[in-house]
A = this chain, B = another copy of it.
Amino acid sequence: KMCGYSGIWSFKLLLYTLLSIHLHHTFIFFTAHPLLPSTSFSDLLPAKNGEEPTMQFLLEVVDILTNYIRKTFDRSTKVLDFHHPHQLLEGMEGFNLELSDQPESLEQILVDCRDTLKYGVRTGHPRFFNQLSTGLDIIGLAGEWLTSTANTNMFTYEIAPVFVLMEQLTLKKMREIIGWPNGEGDGLFSPGGAISNMYSVMIARYKYFPEVKTKGMSAAPRLVLFTSEHSHYSITKAGAALGFGKENGYVPLFVNATAGTTVYGAFDPINDIADICEKYNLWLHVDGAWGGGLLMSRRHRHKLSGVERANSVTWNPHKMMGVPLQCSAILVREKGILQGCNSMCAGYLFQPDKQYDVTYDTGDKAIQCGRHVDIFKFWLMWKAKGTVGFEQHIDRCLELSEYLYNKIKNRPGYEMVFQGEPQHTNVCFWYIPPSMRNMPDGEERRERLHKVAPKIKAMMMESGTTMVGYQPQGDKVNFFRMVISNHAATRSDIDFLIDEIERLGHDL
């Protein structure tokens, strides 16, 4: 249709408008048509004459995606349209998850794409606060689109020259920010914080008991890992996986200091821990998966003070820095140890007689073989924002948390889970419905309060207006954990969350 519209336009409309023009104006010779209903995957590249259907198909996909992006940032759009597993499995109107033997038309594939987004959760929505990773960064997104188009693998320079160098430069920059002299050391991007933490335990073991690599755990005395109660469960998982077990052993090996715990956002005192580690010659790992981003902020980096004394650091740009999932780094102070710990020297990948400097092949340092390109989106975001852009983002998120904290700390119906200002963007609180406000402390109140957050959360998801996490912790009954890493969130979204909790919880 040729009717006027401005501002909001779509790729598809662009195309169809051109098609209409095509009918009227002979001077444009586009041959682009909408996909025919009979078009199938086999008409796409590398098929003969596949270029046009391929471009048409991708255009339609991009149209779906850009519509989704637009709506994601639009507060009048719901965060999610909740359905139970059985509902989605039974099949929503026209959306069938089952796989079949015969191909579907591209037209149906586009419907599948649309429906996949429709029944998903808008993690970039300004009112999505449910996880540590939120937000939809447009530069990061463009980086991911490019990464998947390049579709390569980090294991050798040979097939990922640019990405390998980007990784190297970015890791060096991160080590400089940590404070290791000249940014020396080593590191890798791994599929996530849990794997990064697992690396730290592996490397520590290799450092003190290198013979474990060839002789197994029986070559070492029984070893102990120390970590705080609030640290992330990936440390325990790594211990279990790597054969340490969870019980007390005898020889202290490794201490994990958490920089930004998952629930409270608390920072362990790294310098104090480092003193002990140095005294007893223990490996010090800082799990900054969540809190590492604060290193980018001149105002907040003191919370990680002492991090430069760590032997290894986990830092997930996909959390506080808003980089799309997955993007996690393990950084190691000592050069060469990653290679020593993990190398198996596979001849088919790491030929020593290549024509280029093979120290750029990263594969043998990793516990993975193929390794996804996680660096590009991060590198591109850094280019686009500069270090100062990340700093502003982090300062802004922390300011928003402070705003929330100040808003509710004395507000009727709220109790804070821990005393004092939050160190990170985590604000943990109970909402007490009016009916409970005069109840005496005791088991009955605890039991009722335990059910409040889950109930409000369930109603929140049903109405689709916002999402925030809750959990119990130790002897504390279910409470809300609000976190902010989304660059789209504003004070009005914080206000909205509080209003929504009160609206949904008022009559409980």
- A460–B507 Cα distance when bound, in Å, is 73
Residue of B nearest to A108 (CB): B383
Whether the Cβ atoms of B85 and A69 lie closer than 8 Å is no
Q: Does A166 contact B (CB under 8 A)?
A: yes
- A123–B152 Cα distance when bound, in Å, is 6
- A408–B328 Cα distance when bound, in Å, is 46
Residue of B nearest to A347 (CB): B471
Whether the Cβ atoms of A367 and B30 lie closer than 8 Å is no
Question: Chain A, interface size: which category?
Answer: 35 or more
- Most chain B beta-carbon neighbours within 10 Å: one of A101, A246, A357: A101
Q: Does A411 contact B (CB under 8 A)?
A: no
Chain A 57-93 near chain B by CB (<8 Å), digits 1 or 0: 1110110111011100100000000111110110000
**Residues of chain A from 229 to 253 with CB closer than 8 A to chain B in the complex:** 232-234, 236-247, 249
**Cβ of A246 to closest chain B Cβ, rounded Å:** 5
- A507–B81 Cα distance when bound, in Å, is 67
Q: Does A276 contact B (CB under 8 A)?
A: no
- A244–B239 Cα distance when bound, in Å, is 14
Whether the Cβ atoms of A62 and B145 lie closer than 8 Å is yes
- A72–B348 Cα distance when bound, in Å, is 25
Whether the Cβ atoms of B121 and A146 lie closer than 8 Å is no
Q: Does A354 contact B (CB under 8 A)?
A: yes
**Cβ of A502 to closest chain B Cβ, rounded Å:** 20
- A164–B121 Cα distance when bound, in Å, is 12
Q: Does A29 contact B (CB under 8 A)?
A: yes
Question: Which B residues are CB-close (under 8 A) to A239?
Answer: 216
Whether the Cβ atoms of A97 and B169 lie closer than 8 Å is yes
Q: Does A158 contact B (CB under 8 A)?
A: yes
**Cβ of A500 to closest chain B Cβ, rounded Å:** 16
- A109–B386 Cα distance when bound, in Å, is 12
Whether the Cβ atoms of B131 and A153 lie closer than 8 Å is yes
- A145–B152 Cα distance when bound, in Å, is 15
Answer whether A325 and B120 are a contact pair too, CB < 8 Å, given A17-B28, A99-B173.
no
Whether the Cβ atoms of A9 and B28 lie closer than 8 Å is no
Question: Which B residues are CB-close (under 8 A) to A416?
Answer: none
- A346–B222 Cα distance when bound, in Å, is 26
Contact among B116, B138, B234, B348 for A41, CB-based, below 8 A: B138
Q: Does A435 contact B (CB under 8 A)?
A: no
- A142–B54 Cα distance when bound, in Å, is 10
Q: Does A473 contact B (CB under 8 A)?
A: yes
Whether the Cβ atoms of B61 and A142 lie closer than 8 Å is yes
**Residues of chain A from 115 to 133 with CB closer than 8 A to chain B in the complex:** 115-117, 119-121, 123-124, 126, 130-131, 133
Whether the Cβ atoms of A4 and B29 lie closer than 8 Å is yes
**Cβ of A57 to closest chain B Cβ, rounded Å:** 7
- A88–B142 Cα distance when bound, in Å, is 22
- A349–B354 Cα distance when bound, in Å, is 46
Contact among B50, B109, B136, B325 for A153, CB-based, below 8 A: B325
Answer whether A103 and B389 are a contact pair too, CB < 8 Å, given A153-B131, A166-B97, A369-B233.
yes
Chain A 5-42 near chain B by CB (<8 Å), digits 1 or 0: 11111010011011001000001111110000000111
Answer whether A27 and B51 are a contact pair too, CB < 8 Å, given A116-B376, A243-B217, A384-B40.
no
Question: Which B residues are CB-close (under 8 A) to A106?
Answer: 384
Question: Which B residues are CB-close (under 8 A) to A266?
Answer: none
Whether the Cβ atoms of A380 and B109 lie closer than 8 Å is yes
- A195–B235 Cα distance when bound, in Å, is 17
**Cβ of A378 to closest chain B Cβ, rounded Å:** 10
Question: Which B residues are CB-close (under 8 A) to A159?
Answer: 121, 123, 130-131, 467
Whether the Cβ atoms of B386 and A245 lie closer than 8 Å is no
Question: Which B residues are CB-close (under 8 A) to A99?
Answer: 169-170, 173, 379, 382-383, 387
Q: Does A481 contact B (CB under 8 A)?
A: yes
Whether the Cβ atoms of A51 and B70 lie closer than 8 Å is yes
Whether the Cβ atoms of B97 and A117 lie closer than 8 Å is no
Chain A 451-494 near chain B by CB (<8 Å), digits 1 or 0: 10010011001100001011111000010010000011000000
Question: Which B residues are CB-close (under 8 A) to A83?
Answer: 161
Answer whether A123 and B150 are a contact pair too, CB < 8 Å, given A166-B97, A369-B193.
yes
Which of A207-215, A299-307, A437-445 lies at the interface with chain B? A207-215
A to B CB contacts below 8 Å, 17 in the list: A41-B381, A45-B70, A50-B73, A89-B165, A100-B383, A104-B384, A108-B383, A117-B146, A119-B162, A191-B191, A217-B217, A217-B218, A234-B369, A241-B241, A349-B471, A355-B454, A355-B458
Top 10 closest pairs, chain A to chain B, by CB = A243-B243, A216-B245, A144-B148, A217-B217, A217-B243, A46-B488, A355-B458, A191-B191, A4-B29, A348-B471
Extra 4 A-B pairs, beta carbons < 8 Å, given A7-B52, A85-B164, A263-B348: A17-B28, A65-B145, A136-B151, A192-B369
